[in-house]
Amino acid sequence: MATFDADFWDTRYGESTKVWSGNPNPQLVAEAAELPPGTALDVGSGEGADTIWLARRGWRVTGVDFSQVALDRAAAHVANDDVSELITWARHDLLDWTPPFGTFDLVSAQFMHLPRDARESLYGRLANAVAPGGTLLIVGHAHSDVHSGAHRPDVPDLFFTAEDIAASLDPSVWHILVAESRPRTVTGDDGDPTTVRDEVLKAERLA
């Protein structure tokens, strides 16, 4: 489990000046663009693209990550921008951190791939953080991507399906809006276009 601790992620982000594209994750854009702004929790916020995108749309966002290096980089992106007033950056160990219960109108976790026990524990805590009427949005890589030519580790324990997450939610508390494996075209490791699949779970908390 130490592989996924803060030191690992600080090292990962510290090895280069830019790890990710700087663009918001496409399934967040697809599923959150029409939601009315409120309070949001962006879990595994990395270099801040999703958090900043939400803030620019009027959300008051808490961006949380293992890595202080990533959070400092994210904050620097908006240091001279009024949108920074809508953002709180917070470092937490996501393996055991519990966000405040029933607080956020949107909880988003994009491509948070952890070993199964740690992942299921985290996702349960994130679901509890959604306010009544709020939205839980969890997106992950499909295990089939391992054979797509995209850069994915062949470690089955790190992958899940949207249906797995849907099945873990109490149907008396949650209305499942989306639970599907969604294709997307990306550039593979060889530089050619390839199709990957995103596991997309979107659910509304009823009570």
Q: pLDDT (tens digit, 0 to 9) for every residue of the chain, 207 residues total?
A: 445 666 666 566 656 666 555 589 999 999 999 999 999 999 999 989 999 999 999 999 999 999 899 899 999 999 889 999 999 999 999 999 999 999 999 999 999 999 999 999 999 999 999 999 999 999 999 999 888 878 788 888 999 999 999 999 999 999 999 999 999 998 887 888 999 999 999 999 997
121-124 long-range contacts (CB < 8 A, ≥24 apart) are 121/95, 122/43, 122/94, 122/95, 123/165, 123/168, 124/168
- Find the CATH number of the domain harbouring 148: 3.40.50.150
Q: Give which of 77, 23, 32 is closest to 57, Cα–Cα.
A: 32
Domain span including residue 20: 2-205
What domain count does the chain have? Answer: 1
Q: State the maximum Cα–Cα separation within the chain, in Å, rounded to a whole number.
A: 47
Give CA–CA dist 1/13, Å, rounded.
19
Contact 124, 116 (CB under 8 A): no
SS3 call for 145 = helix
Structure pTM? 0.90
First to last CA, the chain: 34
